[in-house]
Structure 1
């Protein structure tokens, strides 16, 4: 069966994004929180966000608390922060596939892609 994973890289400091709070939501048929986790020292979660029978076709949302992470690192940020909550919406169409959703983030930008 498939799985959903993520990885956060702090591009401002050139290191994994450790200690970032992440929330996962299913959007179908209505928005419902499925998980609330924190990244480990490698910027990853200790286990897949969803795996096997938990992974279903549909629309999902990941919310990364990037602003709180950068504030905790002692960066002097404007209030409100330019990049605060990073919200990524995506779809899963194959429950047998591995969906990896990396986030590259700094206080002023972010990017993502479907990883492997």
Structure 2
């Protein structure tokens, strides 16, 4: 059994392989020096949705209990990223990362799961 807080909160979960690939490309791109980047998927999934996906992928039902002690009083209900392209960035940098944006969309469609943050 796993104890969690609020299962209705949504967060931006990203495939670690995509994030590592983006960091590697940033390290290899001179135009990225001095820039600020938040690599993310652009979509929010609730913890309940993540648990359902994990159960489906593992073919096991997960026993989950909401522990009131883990529920935060001022919890941000939905926290996710918005994909933003800063026009002042060089065209070379944009070309280098365009494939990541396209790849993230393909991964979401293929797996039903998963780049500047926003909260609501």
The structure with the larger Rg is 2
TM-score range (shorter-chain normalised) is under 0.3
Q: Which has the higher contact order (CA 8 A, sep 6+)?
A: 2
Higher strand share: 1
Normalising by the residue count of structure 1, what TM-score does the alignment of the two structures yield?
A: 0.27
